[in-house]
């Protein structure tokens, strides 16, 4: 059985014509979950700031608590929906299981990675993969030294690795 995160979206479904729809649905859900996480974090920050003053009315603090709970419920609902989509396809189940077996990748990160990978074309070369991951492998000459293989340097994180980037930033603090 092929691994979907390494193979084509067409390998992720036994129903003709539905693999692309499934891949797009998972990607849309993953991106919406990322937006909801950002909104939840913003709301929690606003709640913290509001709690630091005595002039903030109690109903505004209660409203922030309700908003946070609402975002949590939406995220949980979307996770269940994506898990149902993944469970409906054997190849996706195996790919998801393989992703979460890697150290540092939990279900939330696996959904993000799977959603972005499923829509990428099969014929991508190594440099294209590097570019999609936000890596830069350009060579920089330095004086009279011997020409070396170009180092891989990081750039701004793209959608596929944004969740991993955010988690690594939190761990380093």
Residue 41 reports pLDDT greater than 50: yes
Residue 133 reports pLDDT greater than 80: no
pTM (two decimals): 0.68
Confirm if 107 and 79 have CB atoms less than 8 A apart. yes
Confirm if 95 and 87 have CB atoms less than 8 A apart. no
For residues 24 and 118, give the distance between their C-alpha atoms in angstroms, rounded to a whole number.
8
The pLDDT tens digits of the residues spanning 51-108 come to 999 999 999 999 999 999 999 999 999 999 999 999 998 988 998 999 999 998 999 9
Candidate from 22-26, 54-58, 93-97, 154-158 with smallest mean pLDDT = 154-158
pLDDT for 87 equals 93
Residue 17 reports pLDDT greater than 60: no
Quick one: DSSP state of residue 154? E
């Amino acid at each position: 059985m092929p691994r979907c995160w390494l193979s084509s979206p067409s390998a992720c479904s036994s129903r003709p014509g539905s693999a692309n729809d499934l891949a797009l649905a998972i990607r849309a859900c993953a991106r919406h979950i990322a937006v909801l996480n950002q909104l939840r974090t913003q709301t929690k920050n606003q709640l913290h700031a509001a709690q630091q003053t005595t002039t903030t009315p109690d109903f505004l603090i209660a409203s922030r608590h309700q908003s946070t709970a609402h975002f949590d419920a939406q995220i949980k609902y979307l996770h269940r929906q994506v898990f149902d989509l993944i469970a409906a396809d054997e190849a996706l189940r195996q790919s998801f299981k393989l992703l979460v077996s890697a150290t540092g990748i939990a279900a939330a990160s696996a959904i993000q990675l799977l959603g972005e990978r499923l829509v990428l074309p099969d014929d991508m070369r190594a440099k294209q993969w590097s570019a999609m991951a936000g890596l830069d492998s350009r060579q920089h000459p330095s004086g009279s030294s011997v020409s070396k293989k170009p180092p891989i340097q990081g750039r701004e994180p793209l959608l596929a690795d944004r969740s991993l980037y955010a988690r690594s930033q939190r761990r380093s603090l």
